[in-house]
Amino acid sequence: MAGCPPAFFFDMTFRNRLRQLHRDFGYFFFGMSVIFAVSGLAVNHIDDWNPNYDIRVKTGRLDSALSLAGPLPITQIARSIGLQDSVTGYVRSDRHRFMIFLGTNSLEIDTLRRTYRYEQVEERWLLHAFNRLHLNELKNGWVFFSDFFALGLFFMAVSGLFLNRGRNGLKGRGGWLALAGVLIPFIFVFLYLM
């Protein structure tokens, strides 16, 4: 048609705009992508390790000189084990057991067996924060931003299909790779969920 730009003009503009948007979304969501990737790896292996806390357990027998007959000598018990933490409280947790709280650490005493179990907890704070964001613990305003991120990912996934043309594009290698990426989750669905 006379006066209209050729088809490739629209095509070029569309792809260029898509590239610019894809790039800017990529920059903007760089932080979120890293958070979700790191947390995703951490949470995927939650059965094998604790991604939120580093927990060290020390068990042993109580000093035979300690008398457990009357009120529990908490400070002496803590000292005899070599603990420096200050006691923040204690409670009877079972018929013969007491749980002593030492901040985030805890010391469980079995008065019948005269044994102890000391649990030292250290938070993996950065990873814990990433996991809490990933698992949407904060709710409220965070939901909006993570929804925006999800939509952004969707846009990047779809726009990524159209960034290149030719043999590396959707009609060539890109198409086969995209198909493989779609098929893999479907294979798992058919094998294990149906």
Contacting residues toward other proteins, per CB under 8 A: 46, 50-53, 55, 88-89, 91-95, 97, 99, 101, 104, 106, 121, 123, 132, 135-137
CB of 41 to other proteins, least distance (A): 15
Walk across the sheet containing 53-61 and list its strands.
Answer: 53-61, 115-123, 105-110, 97-102, 89-92
The sign of the torsion formed by the CA atoms of 65, 88, 107, 68 equals positive
Closest CA to 155 of 19, 1, 10, 2: 19
Instruction: Say how far apart CA 75 and CA 83 lie, in whole Å.
Output: 9
Write the CB contacts of 64 (distance below 8 Å, at least 6 apart in sequence). Answer: 114
CB of 160 to other proteins, least distance (A): 30
Contact present, 142 and 134 (Cβ < 8 Å): no
CB of 82 to other proteins, least distance (A): 21
Q: Residue 39 or 52: which CB sits closer to other proteins?
A: 52
CB of 29 to other proteins, least distance (A): 23
Closest CA to 155 of 10, 36, 24, 16: 24
Q: Residue 69 or 91: which CB sits closer to other proteins?
A: 91
CB of 118 to other proteins, least distance (A): 13
Q: Residue 57 or 194: which CB sits closer to other proteins?
A: 57
Q: Residue 25 or 53: which CB sits closer to other proteins?
A: 53
Q: What are phi and psi of 57, to 5 degrees?
A: -115, 135
| Residue whose entry in the numeric block shows the structure tokens 């300690």 | 66
Q: Residue 135 or 183: which CB sits closer to other proteins?
A: 135
